Amino acid sequence: MSSRSRSAAVAAAAAVAFAALFPPAALAADAPVRELRICADPNNLPFSNRRLEGFENKIAEILARDLGARITYTWWAQRRGFFRNTLKAGLCDVVLGVPTGMERAVPTRPYYRSTYVFVSRVDRALDVRSFDDPALRNLRIGVQLAGDDYANTPPAHALTRRRIVGNVVGFTLYGDYGKENPPARIVEAVARKEIDIAVVWGPLAGYFARRQRVALRIVPVSPAIDRPFLPFVYDIAVGVRRGDDALRNAIDVELERRRSEIDAILDAYGVPRVSVGEQGAAR
Element (H, E) at 189: helix 185-191
Where would I find the beta strands (DSSP E) of 102-261?
Answer: 106-107, 112-121, 141-145, 168-172, 197-201, 216-220, 225-226, 230-231, 233-240
Q: Are residue 54 and residue 86 in the same domain, yes or no? A: yes
Does residue 21 sit in helix, strand or coil?
helix
Residue 149 has a pLDDT of 45
Residue 203 falls inside a structural domain: yes
Q: Where in the sequence is the domain holding 159, given as residue range(s)?
A: 114-231
Residue 281 falls inside a structural domain: no
Does residue 90 sit in helix, strand or coil?
coil
Q: What is the pLDDT of residues 243-283, one digit of tens each?
A: 999 999 999 999 999 999 999 999 999 999 998 545 444 55
Structural Rg of the chain based on CA atoms = 20
Residue 178 falls inside a structural domain: yes
Q: Are residue 209 and residue 248 in the same domain, yes or no? A: no
Does residue 107 sit in helix, strand or coil?
strand
Q: Are residue 70 and residue 118 in the same domain, yes or no? A: no
Do the Cβ atoms of 197 and 131 come closer than 8 Å? Answer: no
Angle at 210 between CA 99 and CA 94, to 5 degrees: 25
Q: Are residue 90 and residue 126 in the same domain, yes or no? A: no
Other C-beta atoms closer than 10 Å to the C-beta of 61 total 14
Q: How many residues does the chain have?
A: 283
Q: Are residue 217 and residue 241 in the same domain, yes or no? A: no
Instruction: Using the Cα atoms of residue 44, residue 50, residue 51 and residue 53 in order, give the sign of their dihedral.
Output: positive
Among 231, 248, 277, the domain-final residue is 231
Other C-beta atoms closer than 10 Å to the C-beta of 251 total 26
Residue 279 falls inside a structural domain: no
Question: What's the whole-number mean pLDDT along residues 39-58?
Answer: 96
Residue 283 falls inside a structural domain: no
Q: Are residue 123 and residue 107 in the same domain, yes or no? A: no
Q: Are residue 118 and residue 97 in the same domain, yes or no? A: no
Selection from 117, 164, 171 nearest residue 143 by Cα:
171
Do the Cβ atoms of 139 and 127 come closer than 8 Å? Answer: no
Q: Are residue 81 and residue 104 in the same domain, yes or no? A: yes
Helices 245-257 and 55-67, axial angle in degrees (round to 10): 110
Question: What's the whole-number mean pLDDT along residues 69-91?
Answer: 93
Q: What is the pLDDT of residues 179-215, one digit of tens each?
A: 888 889 999 999 999 999 999 999 999 999 999 999 9
Q: Are residue 227 and residue 119 in the same domain, yes or no? A: yes
Q: Are residue 208 and residue 245 in the same domain, yes or no? A: no
**How many separate domains does the chain show?**
2
Q: Are residue 122 and residue 98 in the same domain, yes or no? A: no
Query: Is the peptide bond between 99 and the residue preceding it cis, with omega within 30 degrees of 0?
Result: no
Residue 102 has a pLDDT of 87
- What pTM value is reported for the model? 0.84
